[in-house]
Structures are given as C-alpha cells and as structure tokens.
Amino acid sequence: MKGRRVPRSRLRAVLRLCLVTDAALCGDRGVPAVVRAAVAGGVTSVQVRVKDGSDRDRLAQVRAVQHALHGTGVPLLVDDAVDVAVLAGADGVHLGQSDLPVEEVRRWLGPDLIIGLSVSSVEQASASECAAADYLGIGPVWATATKPDAAVPLGPEGLARVAASAGRPAVAIGGITAARLPALRGRGLDGVCTVSEVCAAPDPAVVAARLRAGWDGGRR
Amino acid sequence: MKGRRVPRSRLRAVLRLCLVTDAALCGDRGVPAVVRAAVAGGVTSVQVRVKDGSDRDRLAQVRAVQHALHGTGVPLLVDDAVDVAVLAGADGVHLGQSDLPVEEVRRWLGPDLIIGLSVSSVEQASASECAAADYLGIGPVWATATKPDAAVPLGPEGLARVAASAGRPAVAIGGITAARLPALRGRGLDGVCTVSEVCAAPDPAVVAARLRAGWDGGRR
C-alpha cells in the first residue's frame, strides 16, 4: 500500500455508486472495458471480485482494472484477497464474514487503506469488529443470481434496521436496479453497489449513469 | 513475520521430512493431534494446506497447528495463502504455479521467511523465478489421490531430471511411502514430503518415524 489515496473526508462520496466486477457477466468485452464504461457513466468506486480462479488470475485482473482506472481518481478495492490487494497496491479491501478478521487486517495494514465489511444482519452490523471497518456493505436487499450463497434477502425494511444499527458509512447490495432505488431512500445509506445490473448491461455507461442519477436525485 | 526463525544453514535439515496437512485425512483426531504425533515421529517441517474452506478457517487451522508445534522448533509453512501466513506469523509459505508470483512475494516479504515453490517439469524448475524460492517441491513423483488436479507423475527418473535442473534445495512429493524411498535415493533431493501416508495413518508417529529412518538411512 502506498499511503491513503482516499482521504476519510472523501469516503462517503466514494461510496455513492460502487461497481463490483463479475468477469462472467462482463463477457467477451472484458472486465476493464466494462469498468471504463461504468466509470464514464458515474461509478464512484470499483471492487474487483474474482470468486473462481487462482490468486495469479486475481492479481492479473486487479492490475488490468487498475490500468483502466488510471487517471480517473476512482478508487479500486479487492474482494477477499488481502495479499492480492497489498501486492497490487490497491486502495482497499472488501471482506466477508468468513474472510480474514477485519480487526486483524486493520492492525496489520494500518489506517492507510479502505476496509469494507459485508454484513447481513443487525447482529453482524453491531458486532464490535465493525469498528475496524471504514464502511459496511449490507445485503442482500433482494435476491440475486450473482451470489447464490448469499443470506436471505433483507428487503428495504430489514436493510434500514441493519443500517441503523451499523453506526458507520453503509452501502446496500443485492438486486439493485434504477427502478428499485426509490425503495432505498431514507434508509440511512451512503450509496449502493451494483454487480449484474451494470456488468451484464449492453451499455454499462448508460445503466451506470441511470443508477447514479437515480441515487443522487433522491439521496437519504 | 517476526524475523527469520529458520536460518538458511538449517534449511536443508528442515526439508528432510515435510508433512503437508489434509484435514479430511486426519479425520476426527483433528489436524493438530496428527501433527503432534508426526513431529514426535520425526517430521522436520509442517505445511498447513486447506484447499477448501474460507480464509478464516485457514487462519484458525494454521493457529491451531502453530500451537501444537510450540516449543518443538519445527517450522510451520502455509500453503498458497500469503496473507494468512503473514497474519499468523508463520515461518514461510509454499506457493504453486498459479499462486501469487514468487518473485513479487519475495520482494514484498523480504528475506525473513521461507518460500517454497511447486514445480512439475524441467521447464518450471529452470525458470528464472525459482531463484526467489528457498526450495522447490517437485512432483508428483507418483500418482496421488490427495491432489487430483496434479500434473502427470514424473516417476523417479523424471524427478531426477527436474531436480538436476533446479540448482536449489529440493524435496519430492506425491505418493511417497517408506517402501518407495529407495527409488528416490541418489536423485539430488534434500527430503521428501508426505500427505496421505502420515495424515491417514492409524498411528502417524510410527509412519513418520519409518519414513524418517528410511530417508536418513539412505540419503543422497
């Protein structure tokens, strides 16, 4: 890591519209091309997620996205793989409940990178370890095909309860579309994450722009 | 990492009989109990391998084995997961061809930990990146059920060719039993690795002792 490139004062702005990559959904266009289009449309951060594949594949995909993001100012996070994030010099990591413990990762890597943590319940969001995370990713809000092992969907009401118990910056994930954004307003969120809606879109820039406008227009 | 606990002068001695753990084969006894027995029998290093399971499981298993090894002087390596190795303060990591690149891991972590690299061919063993590894794990010598995705078995002759092109400390892995040790003599090896032969043994201490005596008796 080369020092905090995302000051804490910018964190909430960076969380507005988070793209989580899915190579299968990006298809033949490739992940970097979809990322470039999504950023042109208004994505404010990118998390590279490679569920299947080796660490070497993961590192290569992170570097390709890093190259695509060069000069845009949009931060890059790595899902799960802390070693890949460190080797690549990413801006942060996003951890799940079964990944390396967030408090230990924070102690190891210090304050200079963003750490996100996935939570699916009030219990998880109020756990003391959350204090070591910069933000919480809450979900799934709705059922989603991109993460078949995900917990039972929270729905907007459940999401609001989890966000209220979080006491930290929070984003929602899982089945989010532009049409569903109104249901997420007033739920205490800083932003929303998108996977399939943008990665599988024929025109990722257009869909990203629609999500961004929908979110910015009716925020909080 | 807390400094090199295994001086280079001890490396070849440490490689004599390497136990690679397999939780399924250890069964209800648990990995730490099998490790303790194997060390009592003469194992000189332990590599914790958790192919399935989350990073959190992996970290927990590494720590449990670390506890079992406390005071024995036997070093602990972690398979694949560099971040787990660093968090746990392990003595080293063992990397495969599709794991994080050995040269980058060496630059990142410095000289103070052991790095092993798996190779399956003369080509891989003569690659320039091998210079960043402390030792090479060559295999599989014979077919093995514990790594169904492994390359075609080298056989003792093929193993000798790979070891000759390595030019670094080397151990053999894959289907090794006490009865097969004579076939590995004079092949340029510093030691042998065992997975199923010890992990699945009714008495791991006895089998480890047999392997150790067989190897020490007819070394090189």
- Looking at residue A1, what is its pLDDT? 42
- Is A58 designated active site? no
Between A4 and B190, the higher pLDDT residue: B190
Cα gap B113→A15, rounded to integer Å? 38
Contact check, Cβ <8 Å, B83/A82: yes
B63 contact residues in A (CB cutoff 8 A): none
Confidence of residue B4 (pLDDT cuts 50, 70, 90): low
B98 with A59: Cβ contact below 8 A? no
Helix, strand counts (H, E) of chain A? 11, 8
CB atoms within 10 A of CB A155: 13
Give the N- to C-terminal CA distance of chain B in Å, as an integer.
Answer: 33
Percent of chain B with pLDDT over 90: 88
The CATH number for A8-217, chosen from 3.40.50.880, 3.40.50.1820, 3.20.20.70, 3.40.50.1100, is 3.20.20.70
What was the ipTM of the complex prediction? 0.93
| Helix (H) or strand (E) segment spanning residue A119 | strand A114-119
pLDDT tens column, B102-160: 999 999 999 989 999 999 999 999 999 999 999 999 999 999 877 777 788 999 999 99
Q: Tell me which of A63, A106, A118, A165 is the catalytic residue.
A: A118
Q: Which pLDDT tens digit goes with each residue over A62-87?
A: 999 999 999 999 999 999 999 999 99
pLDDT at B3 over 80: no
Residue B80 forms contact with A (CB below 8 Å): yes
Distances (CA, A) of A80 to A93, A125, B14, B55, B90: 7, 18, 32, 8, 20
CA R_g for chain B:
16
* Pairwise CA distance, residues A20 & A44, whole Å: 11
Catalytic residue among B49, B63, B187, B210: B49
Asked if A173 and A193 count as a contact pair (C-beta separation under 8 A), the reply is: yes
* Token pair in block for residue B67: 């506890």
> Alpha carbon B34 to chain centroid distance?
16
* Ordered DSSP codes for A2-38: -S-SS-GGGHHHHTSEEEE--HHHHGGG-HHHHHHHH
Binned at pLDDT 50, 70 and 90, residue A150 comes out as confident
pLDDT above 70 covers a percentage of chain B that reads 97
pLDDT tens digits, residue range A164-210?
A: 999 999 999 999 999 999 999 999 999 999 999 999 999 999 999 99
List the one residue out of B150, B149, B156 whose CA is nearest residue B176.
B156
Task: Determine contact, residues B173/B20, Cβ cutoff 8 Å.
Answer: yes
pLDDT of residue B218: 65
Distance (Å) from the alpha carbon of A98 to chain B's nearest alpha carbon: 5
Residue A130 to residues A159, A191, B59: CA-CA distances in angstroms?
A: 16, 18, 19
Q: Residue window 91-120, chain A: list those with CB within 8 Å of chain B.
A: 96-101, 104-105, 108
Q: What is the mean pLDDT of residues B46-72?
A: 96
Q: Do A98 and B59 touch (CB under 8 A)?
A: no
pLDDT band, residue B1 (cuts 50/70/90): very low
